[in-house]
Amino acid sequence: MAFVDEAQIEVQAGRGGDGCVSFRRERCVPLGGPDGGDGGHGGNVHVEGDSGINTLVDFRHLRLFRAGHGGGGSGRNRAGANGDDITIRMPVGTIIKDVETGEKLADLQVHGERSLIAKGGIRGLGNTRFKSSTNQAPRQMRPGKPGEHRRLSLELRLLADIGMAGWPNAGKSSLLRAISAARPKTADYPFTTLQPELGVVRLGVDQSFVVADMPGLILGASEGVGLGNRFLRHLSRTRLLWHVVDLFADDDIHKMAELIRQIEHELQSAPEEYLHQVQRWLVFNKVDLAKEADIMSRGEEIIKELNWSAPVYYISAVTGQGCEALCRDTFKKLQEKREAAEKPDYVVNV
C-alpha cells in the first residue's frame, strides 16, 4: 500500500436543529399555550488514533467529512434528534492542524486517543422556552446554529523508538529483516527503500521496541533534496538513532570518516530541532566481509578520526553477528530513558 504522510481534508460539523413554533390544540382546552420543542444538537466531528492504520492514503480520495444535522423540534414539546457524531480514524502519530490559523488541534500519540475537532452547532429553542407571564403565546423561536467547518492539514510522523539513518546500501533494511518480522526489500543498488517501514524487535515477554527503516539519505536532504527531508521528519520522534555504516563503503579511512560526517551534517541541519538532540550510535555493518582483527583495526581508526565517544557496534545484518548485543543494549538504554522520564526531578519533603 502506498505510504502517504501528508493530506488535507475538510470537516463539517452538523447544524443544530431549529426550534419549533407550535401551540397546544385540544378539544375543550382553549388557549392551550405554546408547545414547540427544541431542535437537536448538531453532530460533532472527532478524530481518533488507530494503530491498525499506518498511512494517510485514504484521505487522498475522501476529503470531506460531515457529521449529521440536528433534527428540528416539533409540537407537543418534542425535541429534535441530535445529529450523529462521526469519528475519523487516523494513524497513530498524526498531527492535525487548522490550515487557516495554523493552530495545532490534535496530536494522536496512542491508539484510541480521541479529540473533538469540529463542534456541532447549538440546537435551536422552541417557542415553549419563550413563554413568560407577559407573553403567554410567544411566536418566537431560536434557529439552530451552524456547525464548525475547518480545513485540516494532516501530517503523519511515525512513532518509533529507534530510527535508522545512513547512506543508501549501508544495510539498514537488511538489519531490520535480521532483527524483526518486518520484510523490507533489500538489494545491492541504492534507494531500494523508498518509504519508511516499521518493525518490532522482540527480546522477550514485555521486552520489545519499534525500529523505523528509512530510505538512504543523500547530500542536501536536510534542504529538501530528494525525498530526504520528508523522511528526516519521521526520525524526529525517535528516542535513539542507529547510524548504520557500510564498513567497506570506501578503502580510505579519511573518506569513511567524511561519509559519516556528511550524514551527521544532514541530521544536524534538519528543520526539526528535536532531531539535533537525539542520541546517535554508530553501527558498523558488513563485518562478515573481513577478518575480525582487520575489522577492529579499521573501526578503531575511523572512530579515532571522528573523535567519536558514543557507543559503537559491529554487526553483520547477513549473518546476524552482533545484532543481539545491539538490540539488548538498545532496549536497556530505552528503559533507562523511560525511567528517567518517569522520575520527578524534584523531591517533595513531607
Ligand X SMILES: Nc1nc2c(ncn2[C@@H]2O[C@H](COP(=O)(O)OP(=O)(O)OP(=O)(O)O)[C@@H](O)[C@H]2O)c(=O)[nH]1
Q: How far is the CB of 241 from Mg ion (least distance, A)?
A: 16
- Contact call for residue 229 and Mg ion (CB under 5 A): no
Residues at the site binding ligand X, with contacts judged by CB under 6 A: 166, 168-174, 186-188, 190-193, 215-216, 285-286, 288-289, 316-318
Residue 210 sits at the vertex; the CA angle it makes with 206 and 214, to the nearest 5 degrees, is 170
CA distance 118 to 107: 15
187 binds, among Mg ion, ligand X, none (CB under 5 to 8 A by kind): ligand X
Q: 94 vs 285, which CB is nearer to ligand X?
A: 285
285 binds, among ligand X, Mg ion, none (CB under 5 to 8 A by kind): ligand X
Q: 18 vs 266, which CB is nearer to Mg ion?
A: 266
Q: How far is the CB of 164 from ligand X (least distance, A)?
A: 8
Of 165-204, binders to Mg ion (CB under 5 A) are: 172-173, 192-193
Q: Which residues contact 160 (CB under 8 A, 6 or more apart)?
A: 198, 210, 211, 212, 234, 237, 238
Q: How far is the CB of 95 from ligand X (least distance, A)?
A: 26
Q: Which residues contact 209 (CB under 8 A, 6 or more apart)?
A: 161, 162, 200, 201, 330, 331, 334
Q: How far is the CB of 175 from ligand X (least distance, A)?
A: 7
Determine the 3-state secondary structure of 135 from DSSP: coil
168 binds, among ligand X, Mg ion, none (CB under 5 to 8 A by kind): ligand X
Numbers of helices and strands, H then E, in the chain: 6, 14
Residues that bind Mg ion (rule: CB under 5 A) add up to a total of 4
Q: What are phi and psi of 143, to 5 degrees?
A: -75, 160
Q: 47 vs 247, which CB is nearer to ligand X?
A: 247
CA distance 87 to 67: 9
CA distance 282 to 198: 20
Q: Which amino acid is at 312?
A: V
115 binds, among Mg ion, ligand X, none (CB under 5 to 8 A by kind): none
222 binds, among Mg ion, ligand X, none (CB under 5 to 8 A by kind): none
Binding site for Mg ion (CB under 5 A): 172-173, 192-193
